Amino acid sequence: MIKSLDNNLDIEVQTIVNNLYVPWAIAISDDDTIYFTERSGNIKMIKRGTNMPQLIFTFTEPFIAVGEGGALGLALDPEFSQNNYMYVMHTYMEEEQTYNRVVRLRLQGGEAFVDQVLIDRIPGGRTHNGGRIKIGPDQKLYITTGDAGDPMQAQDPNSLAGKILRINLDGTIPEDNPFSNSPVYSLGYRNPQGLAWNTNGLLYASEHGPIAHDEINIVLPGANYGWPLVQGDEESSDRTVTSPLIQSGEETWAPSGIAFADRGVWQGRLLAATLRGNRLIVMDLNEEGTQVINVGNWLQDTYGRLREVVQANDGSFYLATNNTDGRGSSRSGGDKIIHLTVRT
């Protein structure tokens, strides 16, 4: 047990699996099977009650895993138990240009195959690929994209870079998107890597700042979040930009995966896995979810860089470390998926 200074809670932490290479995203099915990506191109699953990952798919050329690119976000279809569809974002190279795309896979007999490419030619690069995908309460697929190292793309509504995109699960564009015939849902991001909804359907996104000034934003359709014109709480003199829910100031968090706790001891709180911050940030919110009341830090420097946090079906949480991503310190047993249970 690890005693927290916050409300005298106890947390129990169990390592589910070791010796992973940059696990990037985790998704959990109704039967508690854990699915996850490794940035090198693998998709694996861990069945309930076991700690032995099973490889179900590996991306091949034109797939590439260079810098921050590779196999990134993962989401399971709302009807996964019936149709076995999963959605994955990955990086690839075509004619010496780097792109990202989202594909739909179908799991069959313990192996997956690509069923359909849903959205393609999202600008990519060695850095700033975004990469998080999640299915919202509206049954639409949301996709975070980075500026791919070209900051002004984030302000170009005709570019897919530096955006949060929203598409139907078949790849078509929803009629109620804020920009006509466009998958763009909101713009002005440097490198957003986390998505989560609260119980009222409010969407949050995490974003990496250039040097500090990392952000957690409330995402509104059609809104502009300012990059590269502004960062943190700055305001623009020539266009309307939306201020963050919270920003890190002069400290660097490098927030990646985020999760909203809708049950359990942390009910109503927003959690953020941080890379440079080497901790899990837990934010107390007001009843509407529109203000941060308090910020608590958990697992500080205990497991190193944290890439992902997801809530399990029973209200506990799974986290993935990223100490093998080239920016962390090598640790015994490589990267891990850990299970965190919070108790009073």
Q: How far apart are CA 191 and CA 162, in angstroms?
A: 7
Active site residue 339: no
Main-chain dihedrals φ then ψ at residue 78, nearest 5 degrees: -55, -25
Main-chain dihedrals φ then ψ at residue 126, nearest 5 degrees: -65, -30
Contacts from 33-38 at CB under 8 Å and sequence distance 24+? Answer: 34/318, 34/337, 35/74, 35/76, 35/86, 36/74, 36/320, 36/337, 37/71, 37/72, 37/73, 37/74, 37/88, 38/70, 38/71
* CB distance 70 to 89 below 8 Å: no
Q: How far apart are CA 42 and CA 17, in angstroms?
A: 15
227's tokens: 């990059």
From the list 128, 208, 213, 339, the catalytic residue is 128
* CB distance 19 to 333 below 8 Å: yes
CB half-sphere exposure, 35, CA atoms < 13 A = 26
**Distances 56 to 10, 77, 328 between C-alpha atoms, Å:** 36, 17, 27
Residues classed as catalytic: 128
